[in-house]
Amino acid sequence: MIGSDARSEIETRIGYRFQDAGLLENALTHSSYANERNGGDAQSNERLEFLGDAIMGLETALLIFEKSPAMSEGQMTTVRASLVRTEGLAKAARSIDLGRYLSLGVGADRTGVRENDAVLENAFEALVAAVFLDGGIESARALVRRLFAAEAEEKMRVFSGDGFDTDYKSRLQEILQRNGAADIRYLLKDERGPEHDKTFRVAVVFDGREFGEGVGKTKKHAEKMAAKIALEELKCI
């Protein structure tokens, strides 16, 4: 349960005051805590997480669309994917110290779940949904933009080119192999559209996990964009 002092702290951090404190409490309740208290997940933040995911997708898309009139659909999709991936949302959650305020089950708390990227991602999405339900879409939009505008603008700058002027794949492979990564591959995640106008979504995979995801009108372009995202995440460009 979140106390009045903690509530005041997090409201200050996010720049929003809740009318319904129960929504904030719900957003910060992990399923492990709900299960320990009442044997079910009815009061966990999972339903809010579902709603928050949709709101994040819409608001980041609007932000990119408004601020990047010259970017192609593929470029905008790549920027949005890089913003709302688990690491990006966990980073936003850490920027407001969200993990500190989560209500967790005793066992989960002992295992370090409070700093788990996926848990922070889910809690952040739930928080966005709680703000939306409490104050409407403008309040949710203000929160998203307060925490994501600078990051979005930086990523739009990085991905504003067409991806062909630099050999990002070779650059990524060289950096990773230098640091001991042996298995580097590109995974086709999605392929949409008619034969004459397809869009491809590709992820670069190394160390057993997907690291960057790119979109393009050809597989080659999507792979280059995925490599570019991975390099940007690694702070190499």
Helix (H) or strand (E) holding 215: strand 209-216
Q: Which two tokens stand for residue 66?
A: 């408004």
User: Of 59, 121, 125, 151, which is the active-site residue?
Assistant: 125
**Nearest Cα residue to 127 out of 95, 152, 156, 105:** 95
With contact defined as beta carbons under 8 Å apart, do 82 and 203 qualify? no
User: Of 53, 59, 121, 223, which is the active-site residue?
Assistant: 53
Residue 125 annotated as catalytic: yes
Amino acid at 54: A
The total of other beta-carbon atoms located within 10 Å of residue 99's CB is: 20
Start-to-end CA span in the chain (Å): 43
Return d(Cα 26, Cα 126) in angstroms, integer: 8
Residue 117 annotated as catalytic: no
Return d(Cα 175, Cα 13) in angstroms, integer: 37
With contact defined as beta carbons under 8 Å apart, do 120 and 89 qualify? yes
Q: Which residues participate in catalysis according to the annotation? A: 53, 125
